Structure 1
């Protein structure tokens, strides 16, 4: 081995040892992140501190302001140095030559035009270089430099305790709300035609209540009128019975004899009965107009969209044949399918959240209200729980969803913003900031969610700092360190 090779290897070893002896600290306080790197502080030796200053509001590098460092010894004596401006964006380079050994307080004060920041940290000054202890081995992390953080949308936040209720998830499906689906059927035997001046009602056509959809040239006899009169009388009787039951239940609920959900069930039954009565009366009115030989016009009973039109112009239909279906989806029902073992936890279902299968984003449906809770399990052991919601997102009827409901009283739990959680190949993870440029991928076990936050049941402690914006970029840097921007010369 040549002398030059030995010299080069020795130099590399010295550089590695010098880097290993570097110390650093990171503090988040008073709206400021202070990340400082420095050699061990030794009495009589000048140490240059590499101080990175980041404004936590917007994660911006400090671009102006006078930085003053005050080193206070155990006996109260002070040394002070200042830098009028950063050496470059976000970085100050003050120098300290400690005069006494022992535990000191290092106070960093940043004076800016709009405000002042004060951050104090404990530091140790050693009597000699030989007194500096060997650096401790640290678990390998992900390096992500300040220069990278400052160039992108990046943010961090401390995990904190928040009251979050335990939650229960169950499959759900979107359904038409009571009184918002109308089946138009032929009131009498006849030939189908398009309504005057109108195209044939194709699925997808938007209609308003009263719009003419189709007409029927009658081929009927007097027996049709008698049958429809009987149907209308039956529907009228059922509507009266539903109104009476609704009034009775309303009084019992007011007196506290029966639960509120029974009133919600009665309201749904009344809406269904009234809808059936309107349809029966419309069919009777239409066939009565037939006596003069005029075509019978079928009109939309409500605002909505034509979702079915199974027949064609010119077809002869029998009385009662389905002609068209109109659906109003401005408000829909969400049928949540609970298992029997879930019932004890949901005595008072609250805080409905939903997401589509395959999506990690939970959302709160607008104006959700509990319509009814079934009184008995179905044949499959399922208890339906039905909510009516404002369908601002245009969910189609039949859409499968995952529903989540609060299942108990809120409990203070460690939580982070939902945006801090990443799905890493099916594993929930957060990116923990261990220091200014030192990060860690951390698997976590999640709990309930509330107001944009998610409880962390395992894997994270209160006070640990997580990345809330830019976490995926840090994760990628950990997978491919060669892609890391190495422009980190100080």
Structure 2
């Protein structure tokens, strides 16, 4: 019964439509809507991209009534542009045939209606103002008798601008650029040995167990003047710190007494000189013994029965060799620290590949799942290369220094490296995040207009510095989605995949 009602309704609607069309034949000024596609809403689209802006007109073409009606969509940096004002018009031979103000609907969407004039193929032009700037956008020729919109591909999916504006959604044109010749390697970032500082014990003794909180741990950052540790020297021992300190104090007191006596001519000048030389020798030995002032990496504070070691430079602790309460001897290492601004990259790869490393023009490092660091040739320097780093003889190692002031790398961090050895050949490239991995193949989403996209299989090639070469399936100038790929993948999941063609 429901089916019969639908059929009857369809027949009745058709008869009414036929009657209406016949009536329009007698009233041309109202327009013939038999070709207007009001029911099918077949939209023509024209999109213009200018730097970070996108302007799209999406309109229905009413052939016999001689008009177009639709919407202008204004986008900047993937967001809707609000408060756009101005006009759309038809121009022919520099003459304005018809002009209409745009009216704001919502977000970056504005509606308009225009009538054809004497020309059937005028240029559609917009004169707009937004954010204090004025724009003239030439959308090109509009054909009154264009008929049905041309589909840019076999399978095109619409992804509305309103949905795009809710996302971080960007597109970019494929460009020719050179992807360099690359050598793959793995390894890690380590402290630059030229900027590693060892803290050694100036005396025999033991690490004070009562100062547990002072002793830093590996990975901890210390600043100039920070306490590093406390040492308790033995009170009795041959050539001990206590003996040297006592001998120095006694020599100092004897010298000060000699100064007073020489002023009163109570001692000979020769005896005064003996006291002075004794004091200078004891003082030099004491200061050298405890490292008075700055002694490389430490400043040592004499606090009677303790020696406190303070850092004389900023750095990061790379290794601690002692524990609280441990006995140590003069010259034993206590800890080492390094300057994190300077690192080495120890990279291992196949020897055959490393034979190409006559010059290194840059390195791309993968430091995490989606984290990359790119270093150009001004940021790196080859330190050494080992032609054979394993017993098989198939692998080699290179050591490369780099400045790390932006702290993008950490010491002992594992890395995967692509070492640039030459300029390579130019090819069609897109940002690497435009690729979507569908396990058996890679796809990109080609943008044909502001809201029309094609899911296309491509063949990727070499990658470097965030870009990937597309060896098959994409042409220079075609736009692809670079941000918002996954939401578009979900929206086009049931679409048949276009396989493109070789370029």
TM-score range, shorter chain: 0.5 to 0.7
Preserved CA contact (<8 Å) 2:386 2:396: no
**Aligned residue among 393, 409, 414 for 1:400:** 414
1:69 aligns with 2:90: yes
Cα distance in 1 for partners of 2:463, 2:152 equals 36
CA separation of 1:115/1:395 partners in 2, compared to 1, >3 Å: closer, same or farther?
A: closer
**What residue is the counterpart of 2:7 in the other structure?**
6
Superposed, which structure 2 residues align to 1:282-361 within 5 Å?
A: 286=289, 303-317=314-328, 322-361=333-372
Where 1:329 maps in the other structure, the secondary structure is coil
**What residue is the counterpart of 1:475 in the other structure?**
489
**Aligned residue among 129, 132, 136 for 1:117:** 136
Q: How many residues align?
A: 406
Where 1:474 maps in the other structure, the secondary structure is helix
Preserved CA contact (<8 Å) 2:97 2:118: no
Superposed, which structure 2 residues align to 1:408-447 within 5 Å?
A: 408-409=422-423, 411-417=425-431, 420-421=434-435, 429-444=443-458, 445-447=460-462
**What residue is the counterpart of 2:233 in the other structure?**
217
**Aligned residue among 27, 42, 59 for 1:22:** 42
**Aligned residue among 83, 100, 104 for 1:83:** 100
Preserved CA contact (<8 Å) 1:87 1:93: no
**Aligned residue among 215, 219, 235 for 1:201:** 215
Unaligned runs of 5+ in 2: 18-33, 240-284, 293-303, 496-503
Cα distance in 2 for partners of 1:382, 1:443 equals 37
1:377 aligns with 2:397: no
Preserved CA contact (<8 Å) 2:153 2:454: no
TM-score of the superposed pair, with normalisation by structure 2: 0.64
Q: After superposition, what is the alpha-carbon deviation per residue over 1:415-465, rounded to whole angstroms, capped at 9, x for unaligned?
A: 334564556779765432122221234454153434x65544444221111
Unaligned runs of 5+ in 1: 223-281, 482-490
Preserved CA contact (<8 Å) 1:207 1:306: no
Cα distance in 2 for partners of 1:371, 1:330 equals 17
Cα distance in 2 for partners of 1:118, 1:191 equals 82
CA separation of 1:420/1:51 partners in 2, compared to 1, >3 Å: closer, same or farther?
A: same
Shift of 1:108: 2.1
Q: After superposition, what is the alpha-carbon deviation per residue over 1:18-37, rounded to whole angstroms, capped at 9, x for unaligned?
A: 66682513231566523323
**What residue is the counterpart of 2:21 in the other structure?**
none
Shift of 1:118: 3.6
Where 2:194 maps in the other structure, the secondary structure is coil
Preserved CA contact (<8 Å) 1:354 1:365: no
Preserved CA contact (<8 Å) 1:332 1:391: no
Preserved CA contact (<8 Å) 2:42 2:149: no
TM-score of the superposed pair, with normalisation by structure 1: 0.65
Shift of 1:38: 1.7
Q: Which moved more, 1:383-392 or 1:199-208?
A: 199-208
Q: After superposition, what is the alpha-carbon deviation per residue over 1:69-109, rounded to whole angstroms, capped at 9, x for unaligned?
A: 23x5xxx89882221232634333324357787xx343323
Cα distance in 2 for partners of 1:433, 1:11 equals 41
Where 1:5 maps in the other structure, the secondary structure is helix
**What residue is the counterpart of 2:464 in the other structure?**
449
1:48 aligns with 2:68: yes
Q: After superposition, what is the alpha-carbon deviation per residue over 1:245-290, rounded to whole angstroms, capped at 9, x for unaligned?
A: xxxxxxxxxxxxxxxxxxxxxxxxxxxxxxxxxxxxx9x954999x
Shift of 1:337: 2.0
Preserved CA contact (<8 Å) 1:333 1:386: yes
CA separation of 1:110/1:351 partners in 2, compared to 1, >3 Å: closer, same or farther?
A: same
Preserved CA contact (<8 Å) 2:42 2:148: no
Q: After superposition, what is the alpha-carbon deviation per residue over 1:208-266, rounded to whole angstroms, capped at 9, x for unaligned?
A: 489663436358768xxxxxxxxxxxxxxxxxxxxxxxxxxxxxxxxxxxxxxxxxxxx
Where 2:423 maps in the other structure, the secondary structure is coil
Where 2:354 maps in the other structure, the secondary structure is helix
1:37 aligns with 2:59: yes
Cα distance in 1 for partners of 2:71, 2:339 equals 63
CA RMSD between the two structures: 4.7
Cα distance in 2 for partners of 1:91, 1:434 equals 21
Q: Which moved more, 1:294-303 or 1:177-186?
A: 294-303
CA separation of 1:297/1:153 partners in 2, compared to 1, >3 Å: closer, same or farther?
A: closer
Where 1:475 maps in the other structure, the secondary structure is helix
**What residue is the counterpart of 2:403 in the other structure?**
389
Relative contact order higher in (CA < 8 Å, ≥ 6 apart): 1
CA separation of 1:11/1:53 partners in 2, compared to 1, >3 Å: closer, same or farther?
A: farther
Cα distance in 2 for partners of 1:417, 1:286 equals 61
Structure showing greater radius of gyration is 2
